[in-house]
Structure 1
Amino acid sequence: MECASFLHPLFPHIFINSSYRFPRCFAVRRGVEIRLFRKRWLNSSCCAVGVSEIGAGNLFDDNSLKGAENGSLLGSLNDESGSAPFGTLDAEITPETIDFFVSDADGDPDCPSKGFDSIKQALNTLRQGKIVIVVDDENEDVEGNLIMAASHATPEQMAFMVKNGSGIVSVGMKEEDLERLKLPLMSPETEDEDSSAPTFTITVDAKTGTSTGVSASDRAKTVLALSSPDSNPNDFRKPGHIFPLKYRNGGVLRRAGHTEASVDLIMLTGLRPVSVLSTVIDPADGSIASLPFLRKLALEHSIPIVSITDLIRYRRKREKLVERTAISRLPTKWGLFQSYCYRSKLDGTEHIAIVKGDIGNGQDVLVRVHSECLTGDIFGSARCDCGNQLDLAMQLIEKAGRGVVVYLRGHEGRGIGLGHKLRAYNLQDQGHDTVQANIELGLAVDAREYGIGAQILRDIGVQTMRLMTNNPAKFIGLKGYGLAVIGRVPVLTPITEENKRYLETKRTKMGHVYGSDLQGPLAGFMKSSVNEKESSEGESNAE
C-alpha cells in the first residue's frame, strides 16, 4: 500500500488521502464519486476531491466546475496540456503554511510574543513601583516608552526617565480626573482630529514643595500630586514641566497608543489609574530608539519589556466586549436557522451569528467565522471568494444539521474599510496584488482581530469546534478564549480568471492553506474520539 485513506471529519462518504502524491484512485463509497487527479496536487498535503452528492454546488463537482466559463480548478487539473490555473498549485510551500495546527502557546493571550515579557510579569513589576518598557509595534518601526505608576513616582525614577527618555515626562489620565483638575486640552478636539495622535492638556507644575519644576524631585512631586484623588485645580501652576495626556475610554481596545497602554496596565494592577510615561531616545543620534536598543536597555536594567499587541490580547480574553441584543428565527434559502445579534461595547458595531440546530454541550461544533465583504457577499464580486465561501459554509452547516456562522462586521477589506478596499482594487488593476495594494496605500495587510468572534461563540455555548477556514490567522485568533479548535474544514470554492491572482497571493504571501492538513498529526484534523476507528476503516478501503 502506497498511502492510506481516511474518512472526511465532516462527511463520512468522503475519503482524504494522507500521502503527498497520488498514483492511484480512491475506492468509491456509497455512490459518491471520488476522483484522484494523477500527478497533480494542491499543496504537499492536499488532493483535489470530486463530490457529487451533498448538494454543495461550490465543491469540486463536475457540474459546477468543469464547464465554468472562465476555467476552473477541476478543468485545469484534468487538462492534459499540463497547464495549471495559477501558480499556487505548484508553488513551493512556505514554512508558515506547512503546519497549520500550531502549538497551544500560539494565540494564547497569556503567552507573550517572541522576545517580549508577559503582561503578568509587567503588572507585578509595576505594583512594586518599578519601570516597564512598552512597545507599540513588534517590528522595526517601533516606539518604546518607559512607564510606571504615577502614585509610586520618586526622584530616582524621574531622573532615570529623563536620562533615557526624550526629556519630556507625560502623565496619562482619565477624562474625569482632567476635568476635576480643570486641565483643558492644548487644542480642542474636532471630528477631523487624527485619532492616532496623543491628546495633550496644558502643562503643569505642583505649587507645593517645588522650585522651578524642572528637577527630578520637582517632577516627582508634580506627578504624585496629579495622581492624588485629593488634589484640586489650585494645587498646580500652568504652564509647567509635566505633560498630562488624555486617556481615551476603552484603552488599547479603542486606540493602541502608549497613553492608553500605560493607563490600562496601571488599572490592571489595582492602583490609581494614572501613569507616567516617556519615549525612549537613542543617545547616539537623538532618534526614537530601535527595538534592539530597547531590548539592550531592558536587559541592562532588568526592566520587563511588553508589547501593546500582547496587552490587547490580554484584555480581550478577560473582558466581555459584546452583549446579545436580539434572537430571531431566520428562514433562508439553505434552511431554517436562528439569528443572534450582538453589539460591541467598544464601538457599537452590530455583529450577527447564524445558528443551526442545538449546540447542546458545545462540543465538536462546525463553525465559520466570516469577515464582512459587502462587494463579495452582497453584490457577488468576482474579485474575491468571500461570497462563495459564505454560501458554501451555510450549505455545509445545513447539511451537517448543527453549526454556527459568525458574521463579523467592520472587517471590510481585511479591516481597511470599503473606501480603501475600492482604492486597492484600482491598484490591483494596475498590476499590484492585494498585499502590495494595501502597502502602497499605507495600510495593514490584514487588520482584522477575532476576539469578538470568539466571545460570540462562547456566549452561544461553543466549546470545541471544527473551523471552516483556509486562513491560519483565523485559527490562531480564536484560540485562548476558552475555545478549542479540534479540526479544520477547508473552504474550497471555484477559481476563476478574476480571482485566481487574489487566491494565489493569499496562498503564497499570507499563508492560506487550500486543502487539508494531513501531513501534520491526524489527531489535529479529525475528531479524536473517532480518529482510530476512521483511520482503520479508511486503510481497509484504500486501493
Structure 2
Amino acid sequence: MNGNTVYDCLTYRNENINLALEALLVGKMIQIYDSDSREGETDLVIPAKAVTFKDVKWMRKDAGGLICVAVDPVASKQLKLPFMAELVREASKTSDVLGEVVEKDGDLKYDSHSSFSLWVNHRNTRTGIPDDERALTIRKIGEITEKSLSGNRVRFGDEFRTPGHVALLRAAEGLLDKRKGQTELSIALAHMAGVTPAMVVCEMLDNYNGKALSKEKAKEYGKDNRLVFLEGQEIVEAYITWKGCE
C-alpha cells in the first residue's frame, strides 16, 4: 500500500476527498454515489474492521439495502474467493435449472458482470443474522483480508462457512481501470486512506416510493447526519492522481 496521504500527493485540492479519507481513517461512515450511468445509487460505506453492531443497525434501518463487504482483488485471489457466477456456471454442468439462471452477457443493465462472491458467516456465530453476529463476521473479514495482504498464510474456511448472511464482493483486478462500481470505488478509497481494503457497502433505499434513494435525498441525509458525500467521478479523478504518486 502507498504510504502517501492525499495531502502530500494530490496535485489539486478536493476537500470532499480529504474529508472522506479522514473519516475512513478513524472508522467513520461516508456516502458514495456511483454515477447516473451505472446503478445511480448512493451507498453507506465504512471500513470492515471498524464495524460495530450499531453500524449494522444503522445500515439496516436507514439504508435498507444489502449489507455487503467489498474485498481487495489481491486479497480475494489469495483467499481463493470465487465469483458466484463462476460457481453457479460450474454447478450448472449437472443442473439444468442453474444453467437457466446463471448470469449471462447482457443480463445486467449497468455493467458487464456482478462482483458477488460467497455469502458467509463467521464460525463463532450462531445464526449469523443478528446485528452483533453480522458485525463480528464483517470485522473478521477485514482481519483476514489484512492478514492475507501481510503475507500470512491463511485458510478462509478455517474462519468462515457458507451459506451465510454477509455477502462478499470481489473487486475487479485493476480496480477503477477495469470497473467503476461501488465495490471498486470503496476499495480504491481504502488504498488512498491507508486502511485495510475490505469495505462495507449498503445501498440507500427510499421508504416511500420503493426505489433507490435519489441523489438529492441522499445528500440531504448526509448533511443531516454529518456524512461526507462523494461522487464516483471524484474518486476516479483522485485515484488516478494518487496512483501517479506511487
Corresponding position: 1:222 with 2:146: no
2:235 partner amino acid:
L
- Contact 1:110 1:119 survives alignment (8 Å): no
Once residues 129 and 55 of structure 2 are traced to their aligned partners in structure 1, the CA distance between those partners, rounded to angstroms, is: 14
Query: Who is 1:162 aligned against?
Result: 60
- Pick one of 164, 177, 191 that aligns with 1:240: 164
Cα 1:218–1:304 change in 2 (3 A) is same
Q: Tell me, yes or no, if structure 1 residue 302 matches structure 2 residue 217.
A: no
What stretches of structure 2 of length at least 5 have no aligned partner?
Answer: 1-9, 90-102, 148-153
Determine the C-alpha separation between the residues in 2 that align with 1:266 and 1:135. Answer: 16
CA separation of 1:109 and 1:254: change in aligned 2, threshold 3 A: farther
Q: Which amino acid aligns with 1:298?
A: G
Q: Is the 8 A contact 2:65 2:205 kept in 1?
A: no
Contact 1:134 1:145 in 2 (8 A): yes
Higher relative CO (Cα under 8 Å, sequence separation at least 6) belongs to: 2
Q: Equivalences for 1:80-479 in 2 at 5 Å? A: 110-112=12-14, 118-137=16-35, 142-188=40-86, 192=105, 195-208=111-124, 210-229=125-144, 230=147, 232=155, 233-320=157-244
Pairwise CA distance, 1:120? 1.1
Structure 1 Cα separation of the partners of residues 46 and 105 of structure 2: 32
Contact map agreement 1:279 1:288 (CA 8 A) in 2? yes
User: Does the 8 Å contact 1:145/1:258 carry over to 2?
Assistant: yes
Change over 3 Å in CA distance of 1:110–1:134 after alignment to 2 = farther
Residue 125 of structure 1 aligns to which amino acid in structure 2?
A
For 1:127 and 1:224, how far apart are their aligned partners in 2? 15
Quick check: 1:213–1:241 contact (8 Å CA) kept in 2?
yes
Indicate the structure (1 or 2) with the bigger Cα radius of gyration: 1
Q: Distance in 2 between matches of 1:111 and 1:137?
A: 21
1:138, distance to aligned residue in structure 2 (A)? 6.2
* Aligned residues: CA RMSD: 2.7
Cα displacement (A) at 1:132: 0.5
Q: CA deviation at 1:284?
A: 1.3
| CA shift digits 1:244-298 (9 cap, x unpaired) | 0010122223211110001111111111111110011111123101011101110
**1:184 aligned partner, one-letter code:** P
Contiguous gaps of at least 5 residues in structure 1: 1-107, 322-543
Distance 1:290 1:110, change over 3 A: farther
Give the number of aligned pairs: 209
Deviations along 1:487-524, one digit per CA (max 9) or x if unpaired, are xxxxxxxxxxxxxxxxxxxxxxxxxxxxxxxxxxxxxx
Q: Is the 8 A contact 2:70 2:201 kept in 1?
A: yes
Separation in structure 1 between the aligned mates of residue 62 and residue 83 of structure 2, nearest angstrom? 27
Helix, strand or coil at the partner of 1:288: coil
CA distance in 1, matches of 2:205, 2:45: 14
Deviation at 1:154, TM superposition (A): 0.9
Alpha carbons 1:138, 1:307 under 8 Å: kept: no
Kindly state the Cα deviation for residue 111 of structure 1 after the two structures are TM-superposed: 5.0
**CA contact under 8 A between 1:169 and 1:278: conserved in structure 2?**
yes
Any idea what SS the aligned residue of 2:240 has? helix
Summarize deviations over 1:1-44 as a string: whole Å, max 9, x none: xxxxxxxxxxxxxxxxxxxxxxxxxxxxxxxxxxxxxxxxxxxx
Query: CA, structure 1 residues 279+158, in 2 after alignment: closer, same or farther (shift >3 Å)?
Result: same
Tell me how far 1:123 sits from its aligned partner: 0.5
The residue aligned with 1:48 is: none
Mapped to 1, the partners of 2:237 and 2:35 lie a distance apart of 14
> Aligned partner of 1:131: which letter?
M
Secondary structure, counterpart of 1:277 in structure 2 = strand
Question: Post-superposition shift, 1:318?
Answer: 2.9
Contact 1:198 1:259 in 2 (8 A): no
What is the rounded CA distance, in whole Å, between the counterparts of 2:22 and 2:31 in structure 1? 13
Summarize deviations over 1:93-116 as a string: whole Å, max 9, x none: xxxxxxxxxxxxxxx97455xxxx
